Amino acid sequence: MEDADLPLAGVVVLDLSQFLAGPVAALRLADLGARVIKIERPVTGEIGRTLAFAGRWADEDTVSFHAMNRNKEAVVADLKDPGELEQVRRLVARADVLIHNFRPGVMERLGLDYTSARALNPGLVYAAASGYGADGPWANRPGQDLLAQSVSALARVGGGDRPVTVGLSLADHLMSCHLAEGVTALLVRKLRTGRGGLIETSLLEGMLDLQSARLTARLNRPATDLPARDALVPSALYATADGHLAIGPTHPDRLLRALQGDHGAVGFDWVAERLAAGRTADWVQMLRAEGVDCAPLRTLDELIASAEFSAIGMTQVVEREPVEPGGETLRLTTTRSPIRIDGQVLRTGRAAPRLGAQGRLRDGAAPFTVGAPIDQ
């Protein structure tokens, strides 16, 4: 797809966020065609450049930073310097979107809170992410994915006596989706009215939204009226003789036929014991024959080697040019945008930018021009 055909072509986004949720929200907008300009502190940049998942690095940045910041530009500004802060304000006055995930009070001290930014640019779409919302006893606490999973009771969703958290940054990634959704909605309103707006969300709100069915059921039923654990045929993950098997929601009769049981045997424990006695591949064949949706539990390597992974084409190669002429170009294989537009997959070859790749916003720099490089 040509750049001009992308839905957000011409939209300018200032990304003042760091680490995961905010940067990934900006990344989603970049994949849809927006010009995303990452604004970072001097010398170290944002924390994601140095905080590595699994200790992986590439070309002086963490691999996780590359994954979350591809297809962006990068400028440096010392927000404690009045002249450089003024340059950032000039960018705010001309941009379409601003995204940040600073702690409460930081943007107010900088004069870049929503009220101040709206005075500079009434058409600005302002996206603010937090850990636990703008109000309440935890409003001033820094957000963290594992803590959000825990305080939201998500860690107990699997049942049993041992809580289990998702081993990925689920809360962060969900919040990035909500931020990007809110930004695009306000951009549509801006087209109609010329008015910008404020989108706010938090890690906790995303975790509660994820559990909407569970919470609705609990809020509308007394605790004493909960069904017994063994009264339902489970949809869950089970150990088999040689691995694990996932069973989707199904009618008890189908599962009983596949497991060769009777109605009196239905229950979590009986199903678990029965499945543990057979091989995963055999159970998959038997269950599917009875119309029971199921799948084997794969390792990451098994997923990557699978025909399904190949068919969906979820990867792309991004490149970063060397600093010195004749140097080695960095090439990384990463994931692509998970959506398609007009039947076409969205891919980019642009890697994450080096710190300050487009310069530093020093006092006296040329004004920001939409659609052209930032001239320092």
Known catalytic residues?
A: 172
Q: What is the CA radius of gyration of the chain?
A: 25
For strands 237-239 and 61-62, give the pairing.
unpaired
- Helix pair angle (170-193, 21-31), 10° resolution: 50
CA distances from 118 to 34, 84, 98, 115 (A): 20, 20, 11, 5
Tokens for 287, please give them: 């269950």
Rounded Cα distance between 172 and 204, Å, is 10
H or E element in which residue 102 lies: none
Contact 227, 233 (CB under 8 A): no
| Cα distance from N-terminal residue to C-terminal residue, the chain | 31
CA distances from 319 to 112, 316, 348, 350 (A): 33, 10, 9, 6
> 102 — alpha (psi -120 to 50), left (phi > 0) or beta?
beta
* 106: CB partners within 8 A, 6+ apart: none
Measured over the CA atoms of residue 357, residue 97, residue 182 and residue 127, the dihedral's sign is positive
